[in-house]
């Protein structure tokens, strides 16, 4: 695959713009490293405040393959989008349980 490098000079900065060929979306070009994106809802028991929810969310975001994690205390659950080729719903439940909470998959 060829890339075209275009450069623009400004008084205080150098900006390089890489243009990707239109063939990227072509069915003849290989599609590699695309995430196998899934979403799961996990019920969490034991959270009592927003600090708990923030801590769970931060821990989930550190799990390899997690794309997005939102945690609420009302209802007490986590909604997580993740790359299924890198992690699983079971691994996400385990990450929550490692923090001392009870967790189980509600919906995937």
Q: According to the model, what pLDDT value does residue 33 have?
A: 66
Q: Kindly list the distances between the CA atom of residue 25 and the CA atoms of 6, 22, 85, 98, in Å, as whole numbers in the listed order.
A: 21, 7, 22, 41
Whether 71 has a pLDDT exceeding 60, the answer reads yes
DSSP string, 65-100: TEEEEEEEETTEEEEEEEETTT--HHHHHHHHHTTT
The answer as to whether 50 is a domain residue is: yes
Give the tokens for residue 88.
Answer: 């699983």
Q: According to the model, what pLDDT value does residue 107 have?
A: 78
The answer as to whether 8 is a domain residue is: no
What is the mean predicted confidence (pLDDT) over 27-37? 66
Nearest to 36 by CA among 73, 70, 74, 87: 87
What is the mean predicted confidence (pLDDT) over 4-33? 49
The answer as to whether 21 is a domain residue is: no
Q: How confident is the model at residue 30 (pLDDT cuts 50, 70, 90)?
A: low
State pTM to two decimals.
Answer: 0.68
What is the mean predicted confidence (pLDDT) over 59-88? 96
Residue 59 domain boundaries: 37-107
What is the mean predicted confidence (pLDDT) over 68-77? 96
Q: According to the model, what pLDDT value does residue 93 have?
A: 98
User: ∠ at Cα 96 (73, 56), nearest 5°?
Assistant: 50
The CATH number assigned to the domain holding 47 equals 3.30.70.100
Q: Please provide the average confidence, as pLDDT, over all residues in the chain.
A: 81
Residues 6+ apart with CB under 8 A from 53: 47, 71, 72, 73
């Amino acid at each position: 695959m060829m890339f075209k490098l275009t450069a623009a000079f400004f008084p205080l900065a150098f900006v390089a713009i890489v243009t990707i060929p239109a063939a990227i979306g072509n069915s003849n070009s290989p599609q590699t490293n695309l995430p196998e994106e899934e979403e799961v809802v996990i019920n969490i028991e034991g959270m009592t405040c927003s600090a708990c929810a923030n801590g769970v969310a931060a821990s989930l975001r550190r799990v390899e393959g997690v794309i997005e994690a939102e945690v609420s205390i009302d209802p007490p659950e986590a909604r997580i989008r993740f790359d299924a080729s890198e992690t699983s719903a079971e691994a996400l439940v385990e990450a929550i349980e490692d923090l001392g909470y009870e967790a189980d998959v509600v919906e995937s």
